[in-house]
Amino acid sequence: MFDNKDKTNLNELGEFGLIEYLTKQVELTQKSSVKGIGDDAAVLDFSNYKTLISTDLLLENVHFDLRYVPLKHLGYKAIQVNLSDIYAMNGMASQVTISIGLSSKFPLEAVEEIYEGALIACKKYGVDLIGGDTSASTQGLVISVTSIGYAETDKIAYRSAAKEGDLICVSGDLGGAYVGLQLLEREKQIFLENPNIQPDLEGKDYIVERQLKPEARKDIVELLAALEIQPHAMIDVSDGLASEILHICKASNVGCKLYEEKIPIDPMTYETAREFGLDPTVCALSGGEDYELLFTIPQDDYDKVKGQLDISVIGHITEASAGYQMISKSGNVHDIKAQGWNAFKSEE
């Protein structure tokens, strides 16, 4: 949490002063950005590309908890999770808008930290901040990000385009963000009970980062293009592997067969899940917030992905009547069900 002592009250700047202050260092770098901040609307030109648009709303105490999420990370993550949706269409992100609702408990320095994180993410991913809206809020902090991107018509990967026989692939590893959250929640409880105890997150950097500082997989979109692979269906893993593969299967009217042993799980995720008495596979299937890309590719492209360390082939697409199945490590067949976050919440 931030400390309001000696901080600047937002009223001193006013709305326009705040916008100007926060956006003074913003530069436009994308060819498609014709006009950014400063008029009634931004102006974009995507020539002969299709335009991709995605938006997210983040509410304090619903989507984030300021007791353990640093504001800079919050700004960074707000941008990342949004860009992830553009990459999940196999497109490139080019612009974002950021809208914020601020309650009076936030001084200028707090908002500045959010923007600092957001602008670091924009810069790193080469996207232009082209506008937003700013308002007072009586309900805590509200952040909404809209991202805009582009793709060639025949490169766009819809959820509905998976074909029977396709290989199911996922980038990176899964479950880490959820296990990281468990760790942060545990430390928060300890802190609430005894504020003198400092959080013990030592040696757990990877999974804490997976939760607080996710990275959208722009690199995977670029890698697929370099490997000359046109993914059939693609989605980003925001709610857990189970939920996402079901989205693809239902939209494409196909079934799937996943192999538990092929699901990529980082050793730290695995061990920490075990410490919490959680099944690491369940964390991957139902945890969420990993922001990896889940996609299907034609079988003929297997040779192109097989040497790629950052892409795992975890199963294949079947006909719809075969259902949604996972073969466990011991060879048992399980039906895949979407559980999302609720699977864990109901256990609490």
Kindly tell me which residue out of 30, 32, 37, 89 binds ligand ADP, with binding defined by CB under 6 A.
Answer: 37
SS3 215: coil
Q: Give the pair of three-digit tokens for residue 29.
A: 């770098």
Q: How far apart are CA 137 and CA 104, in angstroms?
A: 8
Kindly tell me which residue out of 133, 275, 279, 319 binds ligand ADP, with binding defined by CB under 6 A.
Answer: 133
| CB-closest chain residue to ligand ADP | 131
Residues 6+ apart with CB under 8 A from 20: none
Q: How far is CA 58 from CA 23, 30, 49, 96, 112, in A?
A: 20, 26, 29, 15, 17
Q: Which one of ligand ADP, Mg ion, none interacts with residue 230, CB within 5 to 8 A by kind?
A: none
Binding segment toward ligand ADP, per CB under 6 A, in 34-42, 56-64, 239-247, 257-265: 34-42
Is residue 263 part of the contact set for ligand ADP (CB under 6 A)?
Answer: no
Residue 76 or residue 295: which is nearer to ligand ADP going by CB?
76
Is residue 162 part of the contact set for ligand ADP (CB under 6 A)?
Answer: no
Kindly tell me which residue out of 6, 40, 202, 348 binds ligand ADP, with binding defined by CB under 6 A.
Answer: 40
Alpha-helical regions (H) of the chain: 14-23, 71-87, 108-125, 176-193, 205-212, 218-226, 241-252, 267-275, 280-286, 302-305, 342-345
Q: Are strands 50-59 and 142-151 parallel, antiparallel or unpaired?
A: antiparallel
Is residue 15 part of the contact set for Mg ion (CB under 5 A)?
Answer: no
Is residue 75 part of the contact set for ligand ADP (CB under 6 A)?
Answer: no
Residue 42 or residue 235: which is nearer to ligand ADP going by CB?
42
Is residue 95 part of the contact set for ligand ADP (CB under 6 A)?
Answer: no
Question: For the sheet containing 333-335, what is the strand order?
Answer: 234-236, 293-297, 167-171, 311-319, 254-259, 324-327, 333-335
Residue appearing with tokens 């937003």: 132
Q: Which one of Mg ion, ligand ADP, none interacts with residue 14, CB within 5 to 8 A by kind?
A: none
Residue numbers 131-150 binding Mg ion by CB under 5 A: 133
Binding site for ligand ADP (CB under 6 A): 19, 23, 37-40, 98-100, 129, 131-134
Binding site for Mg ion (CB under 5 A): 133
